[in-house]
Chain A
Amino acid sequence: MKYIDEFRDGDRARHIGANIAAEVRPRRSYHFMEFCGGHTHAISRYGIAGMLPDSVRMIHGPGCPVCVLPIGRIDLAIRLAMERGVMLCTYGDTMRVPASDGLSLIKAKARGADVRMVYSAHDALKLAEQHPDREVVFLAIGFETTTPPTALVLRDARDRAVSNFSALCCHVLTPAAITHILESAEVRQLGTVPIDGFIGPAHVSIVIGSQPYEHFAEEYRKPVVIAGFEPLDVMQGILMLVRQVNAARAEVENEFSRAVTPEGNLAAQNLVSQVFELRESFEWRGLGDVPYSALKIRPAFAAWDAERKFDLQYASVPDHKQCECGAILRGVKRPTDCKLFGTVCTPESPMGSCMVSNEGACAAHYAYGRFRDIPVVTA
């Protein structure tokens, strides 16, 4: 597979690994945060953590859109399906997130709610056209990569006058999340979460470009390296961060130059701004209310906005008392620090969203990294 296999090559991996090992300074530790679901997944699936020197630690940030979706939003979707009889369309990952009353979308489906998994927003619109007698609602989640497809579909719905279709918009913005973390007490004042640099998200950066990250480098003096989502990209990105830290530089560098430009995909950005506008505030699971961090549908598209159409009122629901999803999303705690991890909370019976999506820090660690927690005696 072209442009895939070459970026997964084991020999090149060993080479980069050796470079990293050679360049880390002794008696210095490096903590880098990544907040791209694709990166969390790549690090786990390819066992990258084990290929880095002990002094380099990767922290999983809030890069998984399913993980940062608060319970209250899932409740809205579940209620629409169960009480208002809509055909609720959603991406696969969202279906198992535990919400209020012991329900999740997949459990609601088992109780008779019409919940459908779709691979793309386009499929949800198609369902609406195929079932003109039903109300179809698309649960639109995701960062800046997944937002343009939703914008396209809303525009198509308007152009084709599909009146039985609407979207429940839960799209969120990456830079706002990073700012929030950098402004948090743990990072700014207490210094309990040392973050030496960021691995910038792959897909998101294709859309927004590398320019938006300049702000973080300048304002907070933290280096940012945008890396592709193949494992070699991630390792090279880490090497580039190590070099910046050693040289006390704080710049934005682009490892993913084959797909990311400074300005990003302007067509996609324009489309998004035609359909969406900023919300003043939005609750993120684990981060609380974050200003100007999410999008809502513009008045011009009100007829396709599920929140307006069904007069939905958002109610915040706290997480399970012992669920540490919030702290884990901020990088303050690790999955193994959560009392529920691996006991009450497992992929089969998830208590929080970090365990549901396989990009969530807990699920990733459970599936791929758990063996490191327990000493394994090999033959």
Chain B
Amino acid sequence: MSQRKDYVRPIDFKHGRIDMTHGAGGRVAAQLIDELFARAFDNEYLRQGHDGALLPLPTQGRLVMATDGHVISPLFFPGGDIGSLSVHGTVNDVAMSGALPLYLAASFIIEEGFPLGDLRRIVESMAAAAREAGVSIVTGDTKVVEQGKGDGVFISTTGIGVAPPGLCIDGRQARVGDAVLVSGTLGEHGVAVMSLRESLEFETAIVSDSAALHTLVQAMLQALPDPTLLHVLRDPTRGGLATTLNEVARQSQVGMLLREADIPVLPQVAAACELLGLDPLYVANEGKLIAVCAPEVADTLLAAMRAHPLGQGAQRIGTVVEDANGFVQMETCFGGRRVVDWLSGEQLPRIC
């Protein structure tokens, strides 16, 4: 007589929802990990099946680690979702040190009642983003909170990468005379997301620019005769270009002078911002970077960026100047000069 194998009913992704048992660590939780997360993220480290992943140590260079929490709402938007965003965001944070991102850890906090179908969409999107970026999601965690205590799902990702020796890229390295470059048009992510939010609806063809930038960074480093001529790399996410440049100015104790006419913004994004009373300089980007470099290599870097699919719209937008107060100033298209200040609070659309 043959032995009857235990029959485990597969997860119902079509109609099922997350409930408290999925976070309890028992059989139901294990099945979710098996059938969803492990299957989607599959790689040799994950297959080890430990609580922590055993990873090889790099033989040279330095480790770079970065972490990001993702609480975006809505979860799905034109050009991406919270899953792909969480991969790109952390990959980019690691890449901004000039490092090659290798491994990601992902932690999920899911609200009771969240549709399993949506969770699968998000997880598969993360897996695709990770594969495309050449990183492995090697460890993770899942918790469930009661209904009403979460916003669908929150995802936290931590990334590890290796920076080759000899680089010196950080926010304190900007020097007077350096060129300020941007890799492409601004404002798309923020506007794409706002187009879905309650009470700010409109139809546009604007798509989030969410993307992994590490191959662009590698192309930039390889084009340089001496990689130490690249001083700062930052991705202008929350708070936009303005906030990021103010951060760098403050850390490096310098000022900046930008030319508005050189700052690239798509006409539709400009129009959307016009309708909403927003300033594109303060709108979030998820697939762009700012580079501050020695002036003599500005053209070389621009050429390298433009040759890469994610840097085709690269422009030089300004220069680092001496300024103990750390002001970021801008020559407006109109002809006058103004200060581009930090964002205060959340960017609120104007009424009058």
Contacts and interface: CB of A to CB of B under 8 A. Distances in A.
A–B contact with Cβ pairs below 8 Å: the answer is yes
Interface of A: 1, 4, 8-10, 13-14, 17, 36-38, 41, 44-51, 63-66, 91-93, 95-96, 106, 117-120, 123, 142-143, 145-146, 203, 231, 346-348, 357-359, 366-371, 374, 376-379
Contact of A46 (B257, B324, B332, B351): B332
B351 A44 contact: no
B158 interface: no
Nearest to A37: B352
Given A10-B333, A46-B332, A118-B199, A370 B339 contact: yes
B231 to A, nearest CB: 16
B233 to A, nearest CB: 22
Contacts of B348: 92-93, 95-96, 117
Nearest to A143: B352
Nearest to A49: B336
B151 to A, nearest CB: 16
A180 B274 CA distance: 33
Contacts of A357: 350
B177 A347 contact: no
Contact of A347 (B270, B274, B319, B345): B345
A371 B334 contact: no
Given A10-B334, A91-B351, A358-B350, 13 more contacts: A1-B271, A13-B335, A17-B335, A37-B350, A46-B335, A51-B335, A92-B349, A96-B345, A145-B352, A231-B334, A371-B327, A378-B322, A379-B322
A379 B341 contact: no
B105 interface: no
B344 A348 contact: yes
A92 B336 contact: no
6 contacts: A17-B335, A47-B334, A65-B352, A66-B351, A142-B351, A379-B322
Nearest to B319: A379
A-B complex: 7 closest residue pairs judged by Cβ atoms: A47-B336, A92-B348, A347-B344, A37-B352, A91-B351, A46-B334, A123-B199
B351 A47 contact: no
B148 to A, nearest CB: 13
Interface of B: 176-177, 199-200, 255, 257, 267, 270-271, 274, 276, 319, 321-325, 327, 329, 332-339, 341, 344-345, 348-352
Contact of B351 (A1, A92, A123, A366): A92
B338 A46 contact: yes
A213 B267 CA distance: 38
Contacts of B255: 376, 378
Given A8-B333, A379-B177, A45 B267 contact: no
Contacts of A143: 352
B242 to A, nearest CB: 10
A41 B350 contact: yes
A368 B352 contact: no
Contact of A367 (B323, B333, B339): B339
B325 A376 contact: yes
A142 B352 contact: yes
Given A46-B334, A348-B345, A369 B177 contact: no
Contacts of B329: 371, 376
B29 to A, nearest CB: 32
A115 to B, nearest CB: 13
Contacts of A51: 335-336
B270 A1 contact: yes
B205 to A, nearest CB: 16
A13 B261 CA distance: 15
A303 B274 CA distance: 36
B351 to A, nearest CB: 4
Contact of A369 (B324, B339, B350): B339
Contact of B338 (A4, A14, A44): A44
A366 B322 contact: no
Given A10-B333, A368-B341, A371-B329, A146 B267 contact: no
